[in-house]
Amino acid sequence: MIQPTIEGLQRYLKENNIDAEFQPSTNQLYFILMLHDREVPVFLRIISDGFLIQLLAFLPFQIKKDAVNDVSRLLHFLNKEIDAPGFGIDESLDLAFYRCMVPTINGEVDVALLNMYLNTLQKVCKDYMLNIEPVALGSITYEKIINNAKKQQ
């Protein structure tokens, strides 16, 4: 078990070869995942007085203004279809993200649970970011993605 503190979480990540740095201005940790040779920034913060740990990964591309609706529809569809939903959009930054919330148990972070959520975040981002990016860049529409998926079934 890990204490739900920045220091405890940072120490645990370091012991598991994740070089997380503390960001004082936001009181959170951040680290980079390399997925498809791209840097995916992940932020980890303690919320709800230590009852929850939030993991937030921003996908490594900007969403074009005229693609926001299509990306929103695609992320909604993915959240409906996948076992671990968590996709969203930060419209102020024009970025898509994937978020997991890790509950603490009796005031501590369970190592196995944290690892499961870290692995889920990595797998979901890796599996779907290359499908989300062309929609975000406006090179394909939501309808076209869905029609292509239906043809492959």
Q: Is the pLDDT of residue 92 over 90?
A: yes
Rounded to two decimals, what is the model's pTM? 0.92
Expressed as residue numbers, the domain containing 134 is 6-152
Residues 6+ apart with CB under 8 A from 76: none
Neighbours of 85 (CB within 10 A): 16
Instruction: Give 35's Cβ-side CA count (13 Å radius).
Output: 22
- CATH number, domain at 104? 3.30.1460.70
Residue 131 forms part of a structural domain? yes
The number of folded domains in the chain is: 1
Q: What is the pLDDT of residues 93-140, one digit of tens each?
A: 999 999 999 999 988 999 999 999 999 999 999 999 999 999 999 999
The closest of 149, 122, 144, 121 to 134, measured between CA atoms, is 144
Residue 84 forms part of a structural domain? yes
**For residues 4, 39, 75 and 51, what is the CA-based torsion angle, rounded to 10 degrees?**
0
Residue 67 forms part of a structural domain? yes
